[in-house]
Structure 1
């Protein structure tokens, strides 16, 4: 049997659970709640001393969690917010046997996601990712013309795919861009493409490469930070 109570030490609310265990255990949950598991017969003074000995760590850890709360898990359900070119859209699921592609209304800021009956998260994600792929392919020439003009060189090929990195460049001058760039503000795609085009001149990330980036995309460090926010 577990005896559960709530105590407060130095202004911090703590859930204390007394169990049939031999040792004291302390953990902080993802929502910053502090939990302590204790042997049933251990005195209150011993429990308090144990918690106070870890109070600095508890406070620091809770502050970090509260400053950077965990992102809620994406479920691709009605009412969720998703982004197209940095703009927020509300997701709306629809039953549509004639259409298997997601589409959106920019005026209403709604993404319509046609889904089969009893669809799971992976199926819904795949449909939305195809919308991002379509957006990237539709706008690729615009980005490519603009960025190759800045850098002064062209890749042999540009592909769009779902991958872990935002982009990559091979020594055979083939560039790949992440389809999820279509979620980000357009300037992020420009930054990634300029980054990869600079690799056509300097393959490494050394001083010469950074000098190229400073020349062709002076605010690239700020854009890089923007790109990785929320990821």
Structure 2
């Protein structure tokens, strides 16, 4: 495999020539870098023509990444930045069969992630997610106690899982589910989501009445919501 940097039609790209049959184009977050994988036998002229044909699509994709602040997929590797309760930590891998759980060094802002010899991104993610789940289990009881006293409602159960929304409430059985990724945000965000879902035990919609409840029980909820979704 050979790799080189080219500029075609004012688009800078990384070209990799490989033993493959077809040409592939990717625009990668977070900076919109362009990567082209091409068969070894394809001529420079064919690559230039390919980029010219794809120019509008490339520019559109780069704008989308920039405007929507698209992040690069996590690889759970050394030096990667991860968050716990709103604080940034640097990930450091531990290749030690005796260490089974994530270790946290608050003073040095390091998360130590133990990995096996044949570690995969999926396995690393699972280990770190389990750490976040345990952090949520510790944080939820005092937050729930505080928020139920504020709102005057108590859920039948609070669950944790990976989900698209930050939280949801099942009105018929009073069950609240919270997003695992709330452990990455500051604790005020967890309190806001908890109050939000508890208010759904009073008003099961996002009507004016519901927003009045949020104004009453969490006066700065709009500011917290904005911060949560950044």
How would you bin the TM-score normalised by the shorter chain?
0.7 to 0.9
Mark the CA change 1:29 to 1:126 in structure 2 (over 3 Å): closer, same or farther.
closer
Q: Would you say how many aligned residue pairs link Structure 1 and Structure 2?
A: 197
> Shift of residue 68 of structure 1?
4.2
C-alpha distance in structure 2 between counterparts of 1:169 and 1:223, whole Å: 19
Mark the CA change 1:124 to 1:138 in structure 2 (over 3 Å): closer, same or farther.
same
Mark the CA change 1:211 to 1:58 in structure 2 (over 3 Å): closer, same or farther.
same
> Shift of residue 139 of structure 1?
1.3
Superposed CA offset, 1:35-64 (max 9, x none): 9xxxx8xxxxxxx9x9xxx99x99887555
Runs of 4+ with >3 A deviation: 5-8, 12-15, 27-30, 57-70
Aligned to 1:141: 141
1:154-169 correspondence runs (5 A)? 154-169=154-169
TM-score of the aligned structures, taking structure 2 as reference length: 0.73
> Shift of residue 28 of structure 1?
9.8
The answer on whether the counterparts of 2:27 and 2:61 sit within 8 Å (CA) in structure 1 is no
C-alpha distance in structure 2 between counterparts of 1:203 and 1:183, whole Å: 27
C-alpha distance in structure 2 between counterparts of 1:118 and 1:28, whole Å: 28
Aligned to 1:150: 150
> Shift of residue 135 of structure 1?
0.6
Aligned to 1:126: 126
Mark the CA change 1:14 to 1:163 in structure 2 (over 3 Å): closer, same or farther.
closer
C-alpha distance in structure 2 between counterparts of 1:14 and 1:125, whole Å: 32
Mark the CA change 1:87 to 1:155 in structure 2 (over 3 Å): closer, same or farther.
same
> Shift of residue 110 of structure 1?
0.6
Aligned to 2:48: none
1:76-225 correspondence runs (5 A)? 76-171=76-171, 172-225=173-226
C-alpha distance in structure 2 between counterparts of 1:7 and 1:114, whole Å: 43
Q: Which moved more, 1:63-72 or 1:178-187?
A: 63-72
Superposed CA offset, 1:80-115 (max 9, x none): 010000100010110232332112111111101111
Mark the CA change 1:62 to 1:163 in structure 2 (over 3 Å): closer, same or farther.
closer
C-alpha distance in structure 1 between counterparts of 2:82 and 2:101, whole Å: 16
C-alpha distance in structure 1 between counterparts of 2:78 and 2:12, whole Å: 36
SS at match of 1:79: coil
Two-structure CA RMSD over aligned residues (Å): 3.1
The answer on whether the counterparts of 2:27 and 2:58 sit within 8 Å (CA) in structure 1 is no
C-alpha distance in structure 1 between counterparts of 2:217 and 2:152, whole Å: 10
User: For structure 1, which runs of at least 5 residues remain unmatched after alignment?
Assistant: 16-26, 41-47
Which has the larger Rg? 1
